[in-house]
Amino acid sequence: MKKIIVFSGIIFFLTACWHHNKKEVIFYHKFEKKSWYRYDHLTFNIPILEVNIPYTLYFFAKHGKNYEFDNLDFGIVMNTPSGEERINQYNFVIRKKFGGYAGTCVQDTCEAIIPIKRGIFFSQKGILKLDIENLVPRLEVKDLFGVGIKLVPGN
């Protein structure tokens, strides 16, 4: 009986450690009018609590089936807790070339996700600041419900 209790304790401890290291962080910005305007910047402040482990940073978008473009172009200025700045532009495929959507759809809402940085390490704890700008060459991108960021440790 004592061995079963010790074994159960060890399994519980290992499970708790595993889940502790696998905590993903999700930030989502909902567009109240279901539109993202061209010069409207979004800022996400993401806490980095663990250092020297690989992270994967994802961008995701929720849109309707009336989204009018094949892509969602955007730019990100990333400032790490150590002060490093990285600037990138992305061409996020929403609609596939031969029809259908790149993500998953449930009724009239679709969600697509892409990795924007894999295996990124942070040397200091603090805030990862992301400034995201809509780069679609139209003043208004309609039928876009919201966009978000997901940070997953250990990938």
Decide if 75 is inside a domain.
yes
pLDDT of 37 > 50? The answer is: yes
Tell me the per-residue pLDDT of 79-106, one tens digit each, with 9 for 90 and over. 999 999 999 999 999 887 777 788 888 9
Name the token pair of 91. 């061409």
Can you give the pLDDT at residue 23? 86
Residue 60 has pLDDT above 70, yes or no: yes
16 has a pLDDT exceeding 60: no
Q: Is residue 17 part of a domain?
A: no
**What CATH number has the domain bearing residue 110?**
2.60.120.260
In-domain check, residue 19: no
The answer as to whether 77 is a domain residue is yes
Whole-prediction pTM = 0.81
Closest-CA residue to 94 (of 111, 107, 81, 115) = 111
Q: Tell me the C-alpha to C-alpha distance, in Å, between residue 55 and each of 17, 26, 69, 76, 130.
A: 17, 13, 30, 17, 15
**Which residues are CB-neighbours of 86 under 8 A, at least 6 positions away?**
76, 77, 78, 80
